[in-house]
Structure 1
């Protein structure tokens, strides 16, 4: 059973006590009104933490919460379909299509694989009215659900982006939203993720590896425990810890692109997803708001890259074999964020699994 949403300071996981880190809560209705105190609060959250919870309770956020429930119902039907139907188009592009279980490194590093399947729907394709969506949900009602959800998510994230521009004192073309225009191509995506029970995927297919997001902002919905973060800055030595889901709230993460656009002043959220209850099916919805493809920014290594180039390079790193990931600069998977300390002070991956994984990695390489 998951703990209550009144977050304790620690929670038992894998036979030990793990921190439950607090999150600032931002009121969406106040942000929509550009309330000066709430604008300052959300700006401070991005400068100091790189994440916060967005309270969508109330008339202004209710539509988003209703759209979320519709998407969850769609997800349950889609992920129950046969694999060949879900994988009708396969992974069309790095931000578009279906990924079956086991395509990426898992939450516990080399030798583990992810334990989730994912469907990604392009905002551009939905807007153009020609989405490449697998047949189990390619009907007018389901497409309407996806269109409504993407529209709601886009509005919510643009409100946040506008507030951050104001909070940072940006004007005119320098405002963040001017590189996130709706009529310009981008890799903005609605991603739907289904984490399978461990007894179905096997012990070596667990969770979602530690990373920062490629996005500018990530709007993430999940009622189930499993998301872990590592607080940044002076708190960087802290271990990975859970954050507690709250009814009517979404998690919001600052991604690499917005951190770069802020001149590295914003933090980017280091996080991963692990199985809290290994027997449950876990569902989450993430809207990745990304900058226009041709937006230029300077990454943490001083390179000038476009948003599309950064997206494609980082996605390749996610799907590379673990031995290649280990050789890549941390600035790719972690967006240049600096961390200190161990993820898991007590080993939680059996030694025999690690040995077997090493052989598997050598074969992949």
Structure 2
């Protein structure tokens, strides 16, 4: 694969000129009808960058955008509640429950993460009495979460089906057959609140990683997401596009594709250190007992990979350094820039340059 060499847009951040990486845009409506050109495009995106925009502004996708607006309103109410209310049950399972700020390592050395998160799994929301904090356990909020999860599931399954078709997979070999709705999985909706983080803060961002998931469907209206596409030598921002979700390939799909797909390395940093940032990520994951070969050559289940990588995320920096390099980065190779490990001295107001 050719390295990413052409950068048409930059932004000033922490006193440096940083790329804004361009990404392909895939039409959700065209994927729904399996239009050949769009099916080939989504395959190309997964084989090269591992990231793309999903345009959901058509009549079929517009309702899912509305679902996310309702979810953001719910999130703002939830995260404004007391820590005692939010953390009523703590982290019930790696894919279910509340994580307070500072539960993981941060984006720079000697820092902790700068976000809190509530996760609701697809399996859990369908139970008669889902395990949720009481502050969320009302019919209106539960309906909002359920509707959001259902819409995200349809969108990601549409992409997965298109990828199966593009790769010529049939019958039991199609990717959808390891993502059946009635089988247990760690598929979850994660709602994240990033706190204001000046340069001197000890809680900053979200460390670099690849996702555990098969596909991640991300909704965010604010800057902060940075990616390092395969072949790129530095992190660059992703511009939030109105009416579009951001989709990226996760480790499980990379493994299932026989390493043909790319799981792009990414992180979240404070773009405006004074703002509260909200994002919604739907992590579509394979059935727990799905088998694949990981980057270490082990034949393991999707459930095992999920749990191992989750606990690596929450380990200390020293513990992460001792883990196999394939764990946090899913086996993706990068050139380490020593400046990435140093907290910036100044985070300034930014202006985008074309």
- What TM-score do the two structures reach when normalised by structure 1? 0.91
* 1:322 is the counterpart of 2:321: no
Q: Which runs of 5+ in 1 are unaligned?
A: 1-6, 351-365
1:129, 1:285 → 2: CA distance?
Answer: 24
Residues 137 and 182 of structure 1, relative CA distance in 2, 3 Å threshold: same
Q: CA deviation at 1:137?
A: 1.4
Residues 137 and 18 of structure 1, relative CA distance in 2, 3 Å threshold: same
Residues 58 and 84 of structure 1, relative CA distance in 2, 3 Å threshold: same
Q: Which residue of 1 aligns with 2:327?
A: 332
Give the RMSD, CA atoms, in angstroms.
1.5
Q: CA deviation at 1:202?
A: 6.1
> Does the Cα contact within 8 Å between 1:239 and 1:343 map onto a contact in 2?
no
2:225, 2:128 → 1: CA distance?
Answer: 33
2:112, 2:220 → 1: CA distance?
Answer: 21
2:336, 2:181 → 1: CA distance?
Answer: 40
> Does the Cα contact within 8 Å between 1:230 and 1:270 map onto a contact in 2?
yes
* 1:293 is the counterpart of 2:288: yes
- Structural mapping, 1:253-268, within 5 Å: 253-268=248-263
Q: Which residue of 1 aligns with 2:35?
A: 35
Q: Which residue of 2 aligns with 1:184?
A: 183
Q: CA deviation at 1:344?
A: 3.8
Residue of structure 1 aligned with 2:277, choices 279, 282, 286? 282
Q: Which SS does the other structure have where 1:338 is aligned?
A: coil
Misfit runs of 4+, over 3 Å: 343-350
1:284, 1:264 → 2: CA distance?
Answer: 28
> Does the Cα contact within 8 Å between 1:196 and 1:282 map onto a contact in 2?
yes
Q: CA deviation at 1:204?
A: 1.4
Q: Which residue of 2 aligns with 1:137?
A: 136
The count of corresponding residues between Structure 1 and Structure 2 is 339
2:340, 2:191 → 1: CA distance?
Answer: 31
> Does the Cα contact within 8 Å between 1:122 and 1:131 map onto a contact in 2?
no
Q: CA deviation at 1:135?
A: 1.3
- Tell me the alpha carbon deviations over residues 115-152 of structure 1, each in whole angstroms, 9 at most, x when there is no partner: 00000001001123332111111100100000100000
Judge which range, 202-211 or 220-229, deviates more. 202-211
- Structural mapping, 1:132-171, within 5 Å: 132-171=131-170
2:8, 2:275 → 1: CA distance?
Answer: 22
> Does the Cα contact within 8 Å between 1:218 and 1:287 map onto a contact in 2?
yes
Residues 122 and 17 of structure 1, relative CA distance in 2, 3 Å threshold: same
> Does the Cα contact within 8 Å between 2:179 and 2:287 map onto a contact in 1?
yes
Q: Which residue of 2 aligns with 1:123?
A: 122
Q: Which runs of 5+ in 2 are unaligned?
A: 1-6, 346-354
1:292, 1:78 → 2: CA distance?
Answer: 30
Q: CA deviation at 1:341?
A: 4.0
2:135, 2:338 → 1: CA distance?
Answer: 39
Q: CA deviation at 1:340?
A: 1.7
Q: Which residue of 2 aligns with 1:310?
A: 305
Q: CA deviation at 1:346?
A: 9.3
- Tell me the alpha carbon deviations over residues 130-176 of structure 1, each in whole angstroms, 9 at most, x when there is no partner: 32111111100100000100000000000000000001110100000
Q: Which SS does the other structure have where 1:37 is aligned?
A: helix
More helix as a share of residues? 1
- Tell me the alpha carbon deviations over residues 194-220 of structure 1, each in whole angstroms, 9 at most, x when there is no partner: 000125x96111000000000000000
* 1:227 is the counterpart of 2:225: yes
Q: Which residue of 2 aligns with 1:59?
A: 59
Q: Which SS does the other structure have where 2:110 is aligned?
A: coil
Q: Which residue of 2 aligns with 1:245?
A: 240
Residues 341 and 325 of structure 1, relative CA distance in 2, 3 Å threshold: closer
